[in-house]
Amino acid sequence: MQLEPYISDLLYRYECVTVPEFGSFLTRRVSATIHETTHAFYPPKKVLSFNEQIQENDGLLARYIADVEKIPYEEASKKIKKRVKYLKSYLVEGETIAFENIGSLSLNNEGNMLFEPSYSYNYLTDAFGLSQFTTPEVTRETHKKTVEAIEKVVPISVTPERRQSLGYLKYAAVGLIALTIGGFAASNYYVNQIETHNQLAQEEANTQLETKIQEATFVINNPLPAVTLNVKKQHGNYHIIAGAFRLEENSDKKVDQLKDLGYSARKIGTNKYGLHEVVYASFENRIDALNALRAVKKDHNNDAWLLVKQLEE
C-alpha cells in the first residue's frame, strides 16, 4: 500500500503527520519572500521537514486510511506496519525513497535519515492559486546634467521616458474610484442635503448676526421699494430667513418693518441658539422658494438665506 497520497492529504490540514515506527513529516509556515539576486517572488507556504525521533502512533494516519478505504482501524494499522517494514529494508540497502509530492529519504554514513523536501507542492491552503513570479530589477533613472541644471532654478520632475502605455490605466483607476465614491455619495445625498444646507447657512447667518443684527431698534431712513412675492400659502417647509434676534421685541419690529414693505413676514420660533427667527415668507415648493429668495437678495437683502425646516403648526 502506498502511504504518500494519505500523508499528502493530511499535510494540508495538520502540522505533524506521524508514520508509526518510522518518523514524522512536519510542516512550518513561512511568509512570502523575495530572492535578492533573481528578484523572484515566492508566496507564503508550508516548509516540510522530517523527524525520525517522533515515531509514536497518534492514530491520525491509520484513522484516515480506515475512513478512506472503508476498512477497520486495525487493518489499516497492519497495512501501515507492513509498508514501514518494506521502506526500512529499502533504506538499509542504500536506496533513496521518493515520496511523491512530499520529498525523498535516504540514509547517511551514520545511519541517520536525510530528508530532501519537494518544492513542487505548497501545502498552505491560504496560498491557493498563488505562484512564483519574477520581476525585472527596479532601477532609478538618472537625470541629464541639463535637466539637473534647470531643476536648480525651477524644481520639475522629468523622466527619460513617457510611459504612455500606462496612462490609460491611471485614468481608468481614477474613474473607477470616482464612480464608486459618486455612487455612495448619491445614495446619501438626499438624506444629508437638508441638514447640511441648514447648518452651513445657519452658521453663516449667526456670524453676521453678531456684528450686524444685535441692535435694540431698527431705523430705516430710506426704505427700499417693496418686492412683491407671489405667495399662495404662508405655510411650508421652505423659509426665506430675514434675520434672527436675541430679543423677541426686536424680531417683532423686524416683522412689522417687512410687512410695511409688502412682505408676508412672520416669526417661525427660535433656533438651536435661542434666537428668534423672522422670515420673509414660507413656501411648500422648493423651486418657488428659490425664485423668491433670488428676488429678495436682488432687491432688498443680500444676506437672506433659505431654511428647510418642518414647523410644528
CATH code, 263: 3.30.70.1070
How much is the pTM? 0.41
Residues 278 and 243 sit within 8 Å (Cβ to Cβ): yes
Residue 182: its pLDDT value, please?
Answer: 58
Structural domain count, the chain = 2
pLDDT one-digit tens code per residue, 127-148:
666 666 676 666 655 555 665 6
Residue 8: its pLDDT value, please?
Answer: 87
Whether the per-residue pLDDT at 294 is higher than 60: the answer is yes
Mean pLDDT of the chain: 76
Residue 24: its pLDDT value, please?
Answer: 93
For residue 134, tell me if it sits in a domain. Answer: no
pLDDT one-digit tens code per residue, 261-280:
989 899 988 988 889 999 99
Q: Could you say which of 72, 92, 127 is where a domain stops? A: 127
Total Cβ atoms within 10 A of residue 34 = 11
Burial tier of 292 (Cβ tally within 10 Å: 0-12, 13-18, 19+): buried
Whether the per-residue pLDDT at 251 is higher than 90: the answer is yes
For residue 8, tell me if it sits in a domain. Answer: yes
For residue 10, tell me if it sits in a domain. Answer: yes
The DSSP bridge pattern shows strands 23-30 and 103-107 to be: unpaired
For residue 208, tell me if it sits in a domain. Answer: no
Quickly state the pLDDT bin for 2 (edges 50, 70, 90): confident
Compute CA distances 64 → 60, 61, 303, whole Å: 6, 5, 82
For residue 119, tell me if it sits in a domain. Answer: yes
Q: Tell me which DSSP letter residue 94 carries.
A: T
Domain, as residue range, for 267: 238-308
Q: Could you say which of 108, 127, 146 is where a domain stops? A: 127
Residue 232: its pLDDT value, please?
Answer: 47
For residue 149, tell me if it sits in a domain. Answer: no
Q: Could you say which of 127, 145, 180 is where a domain stops? A: 127
* The residue count for the chain: 313
E strand spans, the chain: 16-19, 23-30, 33-34, 40-42, 45-51, 97-99, 103-107, 113-117, 133-134, 238-245, 266-270, 276-283, 305-308
pLDDT one-digit tens code per residue, 77-120:
999 999 899 888 888 888 898 888 898 999 888 888 899 898 77
In one-letter notation, the amino acid at residue 152 is K
Mean pLDDT of 287-302: 90
For residue 50, tell me if it sits in a domain. Answer: yes
For residue 137, tell me if it sits in a domain. Answer: no
Total Cβ atoms within 10 A of residue 105 = 22
Whether the per-residue pLDDT at 166 is higher than 60: the answer is no
